[in-house]
Structure 1
């Protein structure tokens, strides 16, 4: 499947809300941390992005992952919290439409494209992301494009199943990326 990243519009918030609400509040916590209340609503997203989206002034760019064979949206994520002094930003809110799109390398290819934009278009030197330790698939995906585990913050969330989750900050430096991407052959 060929994919492409397209800027997500506020009119697409309803699609993201639908995808998230197919799951439970623990899923919402994995996706967005404590930002929202379950069930997610378009109004919550509009309030959260009240400064706008897709500009340096808003400090966040949201992207829809599109299947080019039918132009169908199949996922989304964002890059934001830009620190232009240190030339770094954070990737977050990575979401695939449903389980059928996981495990096929689609997320990895989309992440690769976003990282490439971060280093080439935004001229970043470092990209970070946060992931809960229970999300093994996501960690594997992030590591497959060069992210490495960094700081771990323990017991940041207690799940509905009474499990303690630890937060892992993962980091990818531009220099490492430039060396690492030569060995990536899934595109």
Structure 2
């Protein structure tokens, strides 16, 4: 598995991986509207603090992740996605996050990596915990999707 720079040419593929409004919200939170469009993606990845990556496994694009610069000392993992539901639960997410952590480790002066995850996404929480992330109980938030309340957890780890 490898992370390769994501480009505007990959935006249509990413949009195709987000099948419905619920998946869109789980992946992108309130930052994107559904249906997700290449224009939304291209506008987002043009931001200076966003470093997007396409995830390739056996030369095939299988996912996406962003490194978001929060400050000179902190990066946030955002929009983590293994595209095919049939490929989830096989350790690809663990490999993906480990590769992202390797990229952050070589950035000078960065000592903290954070992320946000919905509390009902227990598989993701388990993955992140196995890589040393811990939940910050004082940073819990609530987001609303279609009248439902979704608890958003903040997790972090030190490098």
TM-score, with length taken from structure 1: 0.79
Structure-to-structure mapping, 1:13-162, within 5 angstroms: 13-20=11-18, 22=19, 24-51=20-47, 58-68=48-58, 71-84=59-72, 87-150=73-136, 151-157=138-144, 159-160=145-146, 162=147
- Distance across 1 between alignment mates of 2:125 and 2:42: 29
* Partner-residue secondary structure (3-state), 2:41: helix
- C-alpha distance 12-171 of structure 1, shift in aligned 2 (>3 A): same
Q: How many residues align?
A: 158
- Distance across 1 between alignment mates of 2:108 and 2:95: 19
Q: State whether structure 2 residue 153 is matched by structure 1 residue 168.
A: yes
CA contact (8 A) 2:45 2:52 kept: no
* Partner-residue secondary structure (3-state), 2:140: strand
CA contact (8 A) 2:2 2:57 kept: yes
Q: Which runs of 5+ in 2 are unaligned?
A: none
- Distance across 2 between alignment mates of 1:122 and 1:19: 33
Structure showing greater radius of gyration is 1
- Distance across 2 between alignment mates of 1:122 and 1:136: 32
Deviations 1:12-62 (A, max 9, x none): 011100001x2x2122111111011111001111222344xxxxxx11111
- Distance across 2 between alignment mates of 1:122 and 1:28: 33
- Distance across 2 between alignment mates of 1:167 and 1:121: 27
Report how far residue 153 of structure 1 moved: 2.7
Task: Provide the aligned C-alpha RMSD in A.
Answer: 1.5
- Distance across 1 between alignment mates of 2:83 and 2:23: 13
Structure 1 residue ranges (4+ consecutive) displaced by more than 6 angstroms after TM superposition: none
TM-score, with length taken from structure 2: 0.92
